[in-house]
Amino acid sequence: MTYTFANRIGSLAPSAIREILKVTQDPSVISFAAGNPAAFAFPVAEIEELSAELLASSGAEALQYGVSEGYGPLREQTKARIKRKFGLGNENDQLIITSGGQQVLELSAKVLGNEGDVVICETPSFVGALNAFRSYGLQLAGVPVLEDGMDLEAVEKILASGRRVAFIYTIPTYQNPTGRTMSLAKRQRLLELAEKYNVLILEDSPYLELSYEEAPPPPIKALDRSGRVIYAGSYSKVFSPGIRVGFALAPAPVISKLIVAKQVSDVHTNLFFSMLLSKYLEKYDLDKHISFVCREYRKKRDVMLAAAERHLSGVTMTRPGGGLFLWGELPPGYDGFELCKLASEKKVAAVPGSAFLPDETQTSGGFRLNFSLPTEEQIEKGMALLGQAVADLLKGR
Ligand SMILES: Cc1ncc(COP(=O)(O)O)c(C=O)c1O
């Protein structure tokens, strides 16, 4: 039997990178490849206690179907929290609970993009978003992520070209994969461009609260006065990704369409975990938990940066103020994919920059390193091994 698949999925080929990442299944491999929170970041004891309470007090409700826009009290708590902390949301906005921040990206593509429309995005960018956009037949137009965020001249060039742009997709704070943060001036300018060319911005910000130094600039959504920004948020990196709870904050007309699209996709987000999270927010101090997690991640980031300084001679590293990743750039002419292959032979895994490119035919001299999951000891050891791989690559072995 030969199977024929729809174009929208047929174009999403499993990449060669998977071969490299397969090595992470070997327990003797040190992996800097994941994007996962550390085990200590999960409030397991509290979740255990709240699960029992929830089943005892409201088991039938928690196990029942729910409404597509999400569990009411959690919507209200989330709305109030992001308003208080980040000035997010005004009288024209509504908030819905989604199955992770990922679902906001997928539903936005479904609701806003016709096949062949362009999405302006960063290059490199989050591959989960890129594949969601590809799966709806959207064309990706990548613009470089500079030290202070998206290259806005490149953005304007695309906007001025007359191609139909569905939206601009950006991860402005502690970007995945580079760790870079867009400056306040650029956030304001990006909004001006969106207004001038009448397009929407999809702001994806799952790392906003993983901040290790001074606070980042306000979210683009908090600066928006004309209802142009859809904000994708998530509890994955600050509570648990396994519960699959994220949210979309957007102008009411956009939210109405996202709800219809969500009904078709998964009816509603897991109600048990939505209720459990709501109880957690009522009873415990999430901010305190996040402060603890940030202190631990900051230590790991610093260990990895110091090790990079010692071992990765010839590589330019970013120094992110938050998030989960460092990004390395090899000298011109060297390929991050080759480096990651050599590294996997030495039993250390990193993700080659080519995995994050909107244009899959290009190569990248970059690679991404995660510091949240490995222990400090593993970071020290893994970076030394990665250093050997870099040295082998640069001297042509
Ligand atoms: C930039 C970015 N956006 C969105 C997500 C999706 O996260 P989740 O669906 O777990 O909220 C991730 C996950 O790694 C990410 O890195």
Distance from C-alpha of 118 to C-alpha of 193, rounded to nearest angstrom = 16
- Those residues whose C-beta lies under 8 Å from the C-beta of residue 192, and which sit 6 or more positions away, are none
> Residue 131 Cα, ligand 1 centroid: separation in angstroms?
13
- Residue 251: predicted pLDDT: 98
Pocket test for ligand 1, best of 36, 234, 266, 277 (most atoms within 8 A of CB): 234
Residues 171-183, buried b or exposed e (16+ Cβ, 10 A)? bbbbbbbbbbbbb
- Residue 96: predicted pLDDT: 98
Alpha-carbon distance values, 238 to 38, 269, 289 (Å): 11, 18, 8
> Residue 227 Cα, ligand 1 centroid: separation in angstroms?
23
| pLDDT bracket for residue 22 (50, 70, 90) | confident
> Residue 20 Cα, ligand 1 centroid: separation in angstroms?
21
The DSSP string of 323-334 is SSEEEEEPPTT-
- Residue 397: predicted pLDDT: 60
> Residue 173 Cα, ligand 1 centroid: separation in angstroms?
13
> Residue 206 Cα, ligand 1 centroid: separation in angstroms?
6
| pLDDT bracket for residue 9 (50, 70, 90) | confident
pLDDT over 90 percentage in the chain: 91
| pLDDT bracket for residue 13 (50, 70, 90) | low
Pocket test for ligand 1, best of 176, 209, 238 (most atoms within 8 A of CB): 176
Strand segments, DSSP code E, in 217-352 are: 229-234, 246-251, 316-317, 325-329, 348-349, 351-352
The pLDDT of residue 157 is above 70: yes
The DSSP string of 337-380 is HHHHHHHHHTTEE-EEGGGG-SSTT---SEEEEE-SSS-HHHHH
Give the pLDDT mean for 205-233.
97
| Domain 8-42+288-394 matches domain 58-283 at the CATH topology level | no
The pLDDT of residue 162 is above 80: yes
The end-to-end CA distance of the chain, in Å, is: 45
| pLDDT bracket for residue 8 (50, 70, 90) | confident
- Residue 396: predicted pLDDT: 81
> Residue 115 Cα, ligand 1 centroid: separation in angstroms?
24
C-alpha count within 13 angstroms, C-beta hemisphere, residue 172: 28
Judging by DSSP bridges, how do beta strands 149-150 and 139-146 pair with one another? antiparallel
Q: Which atom of ligand 1 has the smallest separation from the CA of 246?
A: 11
> Residue 101 Cα, ligand 1 centroid: separation in angstroms?
6
Distance from C-alpha of 178 to C-alpha of 181, rounded to nearest angstrom = 9
Name which residue leads in pLDDT, 357 or 6: 357
Contact call for residues 304 and 369 (beta carbons, < 8 A): yes
C-alpha count within 13 angstroms, C-beta hemisphere, residue 71: 23
- Residue 19: predicted pLDDT: 67
- Residue 5: predicted pLDDT: 86
Q: Which of 144-148, 205-209, 357-361 has the lowest mean pLDDT?
A: 357-361
pLDDT over 70 percentage in the chain: 97
The pLDDT of residue 20 is above 80: no
Give the pLDDT mean for 158-180.
97
The pair of three-digit structure tokens given for residue 344, joined into one six-digit string: 């996997």
Distance from C-alpha of 140 to C-alpha of 130, rounded to nearest angstrom = 8
The pLDDT of residue 333 is above 80: yes
Q: Which atom of ligand 1 has the smallest separation from the CA of 105?
A: 4
The pair of three-digit structure tokens given for residue 230, joined into one six-digit string: 């859809």
Mean pLDDT of the chain: 95
> Residue 160 Cα, ligand 1 centroid: separation in angstroms?
30
- Peptide bond preceding 177 in cis form (omega within 30 of 0): yes
Pocket test for ligand 1, best of 126, 174, 182, 266 (most atoms within 8 A of CB): 126
The residue nearest atom 16 of ligand 1, judged by CA position, is 176
Domain limits, the chain: 8-42+288-394, 58-283
- Residue 369: predicted pLDDT: 98
Planar angle of CA 207, 71, 52, nearest 5 degrees = 90
Distance from C-alpha of 242 to C-alpha of 44, rounded to nearest angstrom = 12
**Domain 8-42+288-394 -> CATH class:** alpha beta
- Residue 69: predicted pLDDT: 98
Planar angle of CA 280, 283, 284, nearest 5 degrees = 70
Architecture of the domain whose range is 58-283: 3-Layer(aba) Sandwich (3.40)
The pair of three-digit structure tokens given for residue 69, joined into one six-digit string: 């826009």
The pLDDT of residue 14 is above 70: no
The residue nearest atom 14 of ligand 1, judged by CA position, is 35
Give the pLDDT mean for 320-344.
97
Distance from C-alpha of 217 to C-alpha of 181, rounded to nearest angstrom = 8
- Residue 307: predicted pLDDT: 98
Q: Which protein residues touch ligand 1 with a CB less than 6 Å away? A: 35, 100-102, 126, 128, 171, 176, 204, 206, 234, 236, 241, 246
- Residue 268: predicted pLDDT: 97
